[in-house]
Amino acid sequence: MGEKRQPSETENEKRRRRIAHQRALREKKRKKKKRARILAATAAFVLVAAAGGAGVYAVSIKNAEKKASVVPYEEKMYGNSVYQTEKLYATDLCVSAEDLDEISYSGSTNVHAAGLFDINAKKVLYADRIHEKLYPASTTKIMTALIALEKGNLSDIVTVSSHAAAESFPSDAQLCGLKEGDQLTLEDLIYGLLLYSGNDAGTAIAEHISGSEEAFVEEMNSRAKELMATGTHYMNPHGLHDADHYTTAYDLYLIFSECIKNENFAKIIESDGRDVSIKEADGSIRTDRWEPTNYYAKGLAAAPDGVTVLGGKTGTTGEAGFCLILLEKNQEGNPYISVVMGAGTKDALYQDMSALLEGTNSIS
């Protein structure tokens, strides 16, 4: 996780004013275009095919062309300002073409995007700009982990290259502290990637799975297309900032939905930490412990009464703001996925996320 130092309060106030002003302008445009968006969203068709004797259903929705209007934290445009795509949505996915609120969301709107997805009901309960292209920061790592778990063997011994070593990264990047010549299992690296959000772990995994970061990134982009995450484009396996590295809150939901189907992924994000043993280049052994970065797991943020946070992935850069995607269950034991992207501060991130989590208990 490219976690960077928190911006000052003065900067946050300026950003909030910019976001609020931009949101007001957007709201006027939305009212004029609402009818057109609804008609576009409902222009869907259902495809039925047979697969192993079972029906496979898909819905294709063509979204009308719309421009990404989020104001970035720096005065820059996101990678591509136009988002236009045709997707095939399986019936086990939540689908929404526009903003909505079925939970009476009580959090702030000073974020880049937010969404709440009911897994069992296959329904979007809250959507705020979920189709706009944004910088993902270290939420990128859920795709890195997915490919590693699908293509690698957890017992593989990985040797850390000079390129993957900690000293190859910016001084303020989140790192596991890997050294050139270190040897450790792929399983330990994935724990370091998802729990501690080590950027060096991401590069070591990429090189082990595909031979190079570049080849691994090609696999990331290919897998994103397979998952219908067509608003996503990767440039690296860890999420450090690149202008051409972006996703959407909805695409994060699509990717995370696939991730949590993997038992090992679910086990890792639900873990409270991982004790690792690393063999150094000189043959000596050092130990470390990698713990989760999200505040719910660390006990620094409390989930609403009745809500259990199972695990998730944080992400922070100066350009992306503070981001978080979670798997949780409400007081009735029903599972949900929640996403907040682009909060101005870490405290604001968890306040807004808790407001989404509270909404899961309002669903009958």
Q: What are phi and psi of 127, to 5 degrees?
A: -145, 120
**Catalytic, out of 4, 133, 141, 313:** 141
Mean pLDDT, the chain, rounded, equals 82
pTM assigned to the model: 0.77
Contact 81, 95 (CB under 8 A): no
pLDDT exceeds cutoff 80 at 184: yes
User: Region 323-349: what's the mean pLDDT?
Assistant: 97
Name which residue leads in pLDDT, 239 or 28.
Answer: 239
**Catalytic, out of 4, 87, 96, 138:** 138
Determine whether 354 is an active site residue.
no
Name which residue leads in pLDDT, 69 or 204.
Answer: 204
pLDDT exceeds cutoff 50 at 133: yes
pLDDT-derived band of residue 89, with 50, 70 and 90 as boundaries? very low
User: Region 171-180: what's the mean pLDDT?
Assistant: 96
Question: DSSP secondary structure string, 270-332?
Answer: T-S-EEEEEE-TTS-EEEEEE---SHHHHTSS-PPTT-EEEEEEEEEETTTEEEEEEEEE-TT
Q: Residue 63: helix, strand or coil by DSSP?
A: coil
**Catalytic, out of 96, 197, 210, 354:** 197
Q: What are phi and psi of 335, to 5 degrees?
A: -90, 145
Contact 208, 158 (CB under 8 A): yes
User: What angle, 0 to 180 degrees and rounded to 10, lies between the N-to-C axes of helices 249-259 and 141-151?
Assistant: 30
* Domains held by the chain: number: 1
Q: Which domain holds residue 184?
A: 1-364
Determine whether 277 is an active site residue.
no
Give the tens place of pLDDT for each residue, 42-70.
Answer: 333 233 233 333 332 232 323 333 333 33
pLDDT exceeds cutoff 80 at 82: no
Q: For residue 96, give the CATH number of its domain.
A: 3.40.710.10
Determine whether 279 is an active site residue.
no
Give the tens place of pLDDT for each residue, 265-318.
Answer: 999 999 999 999 999 999 999 999 999 999 999 999 999 999 999 999 999 999
Please give the Cα distance from 326 to 295 (Å, whole number).
Answer: 11
- Tell me which DSSP letter residue 98 carries: S
What percent of the chain has pLDDT above 70?
75
